[in-house]
């Protein structure tokens, strides 16, 4: 018998999920941070200052468009306003109180210990997403960011600031709302596109978001869904978390699978010792023998690569018998 460990190490079972898809704002940090409140104010200011809209009507219009299209920005484009997307994002996010966000070492540790791909999926632009993750200390906890620029073609980014008047019957519920050229949550097409970009399937993905509409849209296309920000589970949500910090309480299997993968990779120390003893008993002569009859060995472990983190790796662990006298 040689030092063959292919049958000695159990392989870790494949994780039930390939990807965790996380919303950003008010999901990875609490609503109480005040960013959402300031963002809404900046949007209304933009509508007044940049688009020349009546200050007395912008609050009502912004609210209606947000409820109808998922973002006020998408609604503005739908009803005929033309503006530069980068200018809009710079104006709306550029004045946010990012200092209100603090390092979240608890969440960081939770995320880093989950052996599943983690991707940000936000309607915001990449500059904003990067700033938020940096302030939270989570910039290296995710494998990618799917954001506004990811879903929307750059050549559709209008450089014009011309505006179009709103039709008086735009608020009539009997009228069919015009389509928007912007792709964003809660559009099922936007969520499906995000999955396509991430190269994952809905049934093997968990979706975390603070928006009930987004969660329900995700559920309709087959995602496992987690509503964040409330412990009250609504229709369409498989789980409901008061805080993202409660993630381990709701989905402990994510960490359990990681522990199983590590155990399968390294195996039990007694199994290694037994395997070496058996090798000696079957004619193996080299090695440094100890007083209890076992053989002293050197164990070399290389870093895991790619899917090895999830599936285990027999070739990552090399056991070499040490040559020398009996001790």
pLDDT of residue 163: 44
Please confirm whether the linkage preceding 316 is cis (ω < 30° from 0). Answer: no
- Confidence at residue 64, expressed as pLDDT on a 0 to 100 scale: 96
Smallest CA-to-CA distance from 258 within 21, 20, 7 is with 20
Q: Is the distance from CB of 223 to CB of 205 less than 8 angstroms?
A: yes
- pLDDT score of 304: 56
Instruction: Tell me the two tokens of residue 97.
Output: 């109180």
CB atoms within 10 A of CB 24: 24
> For position 256, what pLDDT does the model report?
80
Place of tokens 């090695």: 287
Predicted local confidence at residue 176, as pLDDT? 82
pLDDT, tens digit, 9 for 90 and up, residues 103-126: 999 999 999 999 999 999 999 999
The predicted structure's pLDDT at residue 318: 55
Instruction: Enumerate residue ranges in the chain where pLDDT < 50.
Output: 1-12, 160-169, 171-174, 268-270, 272-277, 279-280, 283-288, 310, 324-327
Q: Specify whether the CB–CB gap between 93 and 35 falls below 8 A.
A: no
What distance in Å separates the CA atoms of residue 145 and residue 129, rounded to the nearest whole number? 8
- Using CA atoms, how far residue 26 sits from 35, 79, 110, 288, 290, in Å, is 8, 27, 18, 59, 59
pLDDT at 71: 97
pTM here is 0.75
Q: Give the list of residues 6+ apart from residue 180 with CB closer than 8 angstroms, or none.
A: 69, 74, 75, 77, 78
pLDDT at 267: 56
Cα–Cα distance measured from residue 123 to residue 74, given in angstroms and rounded to the nearest whole number: 10
- What is the predicted pLDDT for the residue at 229? 97
- Predicted local confidence at residue 61, as pLDDT: 97
| Beta carbons of 204 and 254 less than 8 angstroms apart | no
């Amino acid at each position: 018998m040689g030092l063959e460990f292919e049958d000695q190490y159990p392989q870790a079972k494949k994780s039930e999920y390939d990807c965790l898809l996380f919303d950003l704002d008010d999901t990875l940090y609490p609503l109480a941070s005040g960013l959402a409140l300031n963002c809404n104010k900046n949007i209304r200011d933009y509508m007044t200052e940049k688009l020349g809209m009546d200050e007395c009507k912008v609050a009502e219009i912004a609210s209606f468009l947000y409820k109808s299209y998922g973002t006020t920005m998408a609604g503005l484009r739908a009803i005929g306003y033309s503006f530069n997307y980068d200018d809009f994002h710079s104006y709306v996010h550029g004045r946010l109180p990012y200092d209100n966000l603090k390092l979240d070492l608890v969440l960081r540790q939770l995320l880093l210990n989950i052996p599943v791909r983690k991707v940000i999926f936000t309607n915001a632009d990449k500059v904003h997403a990067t700033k938020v993750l940096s302030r939270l200390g989570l910039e290296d906890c995710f494998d990618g960011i799917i954001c506004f620029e990811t879903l929307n073609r750059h050549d559709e980014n209008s450089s014009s600031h011309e505006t179009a008047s709103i039709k008086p019957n735009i608020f009539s519920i009997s009228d069919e709302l015009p389509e928007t050229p912007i792709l964003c949550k809660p559009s099922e097409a936007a969520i499906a596109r995000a999955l396509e970009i991430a190269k994952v399937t809905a049934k093997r993905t968990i979706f975390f978001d603070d928006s009930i509409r987004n969660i329900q849209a995700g559920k309709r296309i087959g995602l496992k869904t987690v509503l964040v920000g409330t412990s009250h589970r609504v229709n369409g949500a498989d789980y409901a978390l008061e805080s993202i910090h409660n993630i381990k309480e709701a989905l402990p299997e994510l960490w359990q699978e990681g522990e199983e993968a590590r155990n399968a990779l390294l195996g039990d120390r007694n199994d290694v010792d037994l395997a070496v003893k058996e090798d000696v008993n079957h004619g193996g002569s080299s090695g440094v023998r100890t007083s209890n009859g076992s053989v002293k060995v050197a164990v070399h472990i290389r870093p895991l690569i790619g899917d090895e983190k999830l599936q285990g790796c027999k070739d990552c662990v090399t056991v070499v018998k040490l040559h020398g006298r009996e001790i």
